[in-house]
Amino acid sequence: DAKSETLGFQTEAKQLLQLMIHSLYSNQEIFLRELISNASDAIDKLRFAALADDSVLEGQGEFTIQVDVDKDAGTLTITDNGIGMTRDEVIENLGTIAKSGTAAFLENLTGDQQKDSQLIGQFGVGFYSAFIVADKVRVHTRKSGEGADGGVVWESSGEADFTISEQPREQRGTAITLYLKDDCSDFADEWRVRSVIKKYSDHISVPVMMLEPEKPVPEGEEDAETAPREYEAVNEATALWTRSRSEVSDEEYKAFYQHISHDFQDPLSWSHNRVEGKLEYTSLLYLPAKAPFDMWQRDTARGLKLYVQRTFIMDDAEQFLPLYLRFVKGVIDSNDLPLNVSREILQQDGAVDSMRSAITKRVLDMLAKMAKSSADDYAAFWSEFGQVLKEGPAEDFANKEKVAGLLRFATTHTDTEAQDQSLADYVERMQEGQDAIYYVVAENFNTAKHSPHLEVFRKKGIEVLLLSDRVDDWLMNHLQSFDDKPLKDVARGALELASDSEEEKAEQEKLEKDSEDLVARIQTVLEAKVQEVRATARLTESPACLVVGDYDMGAQMKRIMEAAGQ
Ligand code: ADP
Ligand code: MG
């Protein structure tokens, strides 16, 4: 008809759609989690909109998600009475991908099904996952508060385009019908669907309704009239974080993590706490097992999901954690913040500051606990997020020592590239009379390991941290000390080692004297290039090496500044 229009998918959307269909075949059932998750988000959004103007509820404030199957037709329909979409929103939300980092994500794809499905998992599968099991999808939606005439139908077979048309809809919200592929008809079976909902969506705080199971007909009563089947909730339907820890199983915690993080994998660990007293709030914090593909992008969404008195307020509330803990996912539910809280208010609110520092401590404690109880988990964490954590001492002075305790390094003690030694380990191994923690910074591990500056340390058996990450110079500049022991760059100034014997000191003096002429000559030749030339007894194999002045910028820092055009 005249009101129907066919539109093409945005290129990225088309690519993602194809990818979804091909890579997630072995993980079909997650589509249901995604669609129920969207329905629940839509209800959260409506609840939130109703805080400002409750006319959007159209006098109906009971929220449900309903799932219906039709075995004969081979369809599955998910209906919510959430916020719904206008025609423009349908085109925007179901025809394009607005997410930042989409291009980078698509570039990272390898064509290897296993690897790609991991990546898609991190990217977030979302609505298009419907096409894993369906060869046609129909969405009938109407924005709340718009009246029946605002109804819109979106239809697509998941190839190049979709059609959009007007169709009145009495009920607000969205109904999504999947026309199942022949080999996916098991998703039209109510028992199968029930069990998938239980598995993935039990924690959704809105009831997910299905028709109650058919009762067996008693013998002899085949002809009697049977009562019509009623809808019943299939899921637990209370917000998971409001339940007490002992009532929530690990499986439920994991499923909830996948709901809020859009991650495919299980989290590495979590921490669930109710805080009472001056401030009252609940926090449920998760450490992911894998870094998201866009962790280093500036505009990447980060932060916690914020609820106020169980009402959803916003995603990505950044104010509750410092940047160097941006990998943490989770939920905060506050009893103190006003329901009309905005990002601007969050920035100024004193309660938010206190919560932020408590939550930061909570995360650092969770990490310390993990480091203590499971070296393997901590090593996994460190290899994914260690680089981010190293930003901590610069950003968070108050927790400097705590963060320092969590850092892991490669050192001359093991002489391997693995960053698995803590500063506490180092301090324990310090020699008698050693009063500093030594480190060397280089472009890569091998250069660090073979640095001529290490010769004397190796000779004396003094351990040195081998640093080669981009952030290391920056980190050391801010860290400065650990356990009251200063951190010293072995490439800086004229190092004096406490363990130097009188004999060695005498040797150094003699050397300086004997070399006066030579040093003067080299100094003349290199005049414009170096500040000073010194003779040293420190080198056992190399003829010469460069050192940096005590207060000059480190070589690595210099490179970073140069790269930034300074
Ligand atoms: P995400 O949920 O991560 O935003 P999705 O691909 O799952 O991504 O969904 C894309 C967008 O489509 C959502 O952000 C939302 O705006 C819209 N949407 C999807 N399902 C619904 C629904 N049931 N009701 C209202 N809007 C929806
Ligand atoms: Mg979604």
pLDDT at 120: 76
State the virtual CA torsion across 3, 14, 288, 321 in degrees, nearest 10: -60
By most ligand atoms within 8 Å of CB, the mutation choice from 24, 34, 38, 312 for ligand 1 is 38
Vertex 11 angle, CA 262 and 160, to 5°: 100
Q: Which two tokens stand for residue 5?
A: 């229009």
Residue by residue, what is the 3-state secondary structure of 446-510? HHHHCCHHHHHHHHHCCCEEEECCCCHHHHHHHHCEECCEEEEECCECCCCCCCCCHHHHHHHHH
pLDDT over 80 (residue 242): yes
With pLDDT > 90 as the criterion, what percentage of the chain qualifies?
Answer: 61
Q: What is the spatial distance between Cα 472 and Cα 463, in angstroms, rounded to a whole number? A: 17
Atom of ligand 1 nearest to the CA of 80: 23
Q: What is the spatial distance between Cα 139 and Cα 158, in angstroms, rounded to a whole number? A: 13
**ipTM of the predicted structure?**
0.99
Q: Is 17 in the pocket of ligand 1 (CB under 6 A)?
A: no
3-state helix, strand and coil shares in percent for the chain, rounded to the nearest 5: 45, 20, 40
Alpha carbon 508 to its chain centroid, in Å, reads 53
Ligand 2 (ion): residues with CB under 5 Å are 38, 126
Encode pLDDT of 397-408 as tens digits.
999 999 999 999
Encode pLDDT of 257-285 as tens digits.
988 887 888 999 999 999 999 899 999 99
Encode pLDDT of 29-86 as tens digits.
889 988 999 999 999 999 999 999 999 999 998 999 999 999 999 999 999 999 999 9
What value does the mean pLDDT take over residues 445-451? 94
**Predicted confidence band of residue 157 (pLDDT cuts 50, 70, 90):** very high
**Predicted confidence band of residue 551 (pLDDT cuts 50, 70, 90):** low
What value does the mean pLDDT take over residues 475-489? 94
Encode pLDDT of 115-139 as tens digits.
777 777 777 778 999 999 999 999 9
Q: Is 235 in the pocket of ligand 1 (CB under 6 A)?
A: no
Q: What is the spatial distance between Cα 87 and Cα 154, in angstroms, rounded to a whole number? A: 9
**Predicted confidence band of residue 113 (pLDDT cuts 50, 70, 90):** confident
pLDDT over 60 (residue 330): yes
Q: What is the spatial distance between Cα 105 and Cα 95, in angstroms, rounded to a whole number? A: 18
- Residue 34 CA to ligand 2 center (angstroms) comes to 6
Q: 101-110, 452-461, 556-565: which range is least confident on average?
A: 556-565
Q: For the chain, what is the mean pLDDT?
A: 89
Terminal Cα distance for the chain, rounded: 62
With pLDDT > 70 as the criterion, what percentage of the chain qualifies?
Answer: 93
Cα–Cα distances (Å) from 29 to 25, 198, 268, in that order, read 9, 12, 23
Q: What is the spatial distance between Cα 488 and Cα 481, in angstroms, rounded to a whole number? A: 9
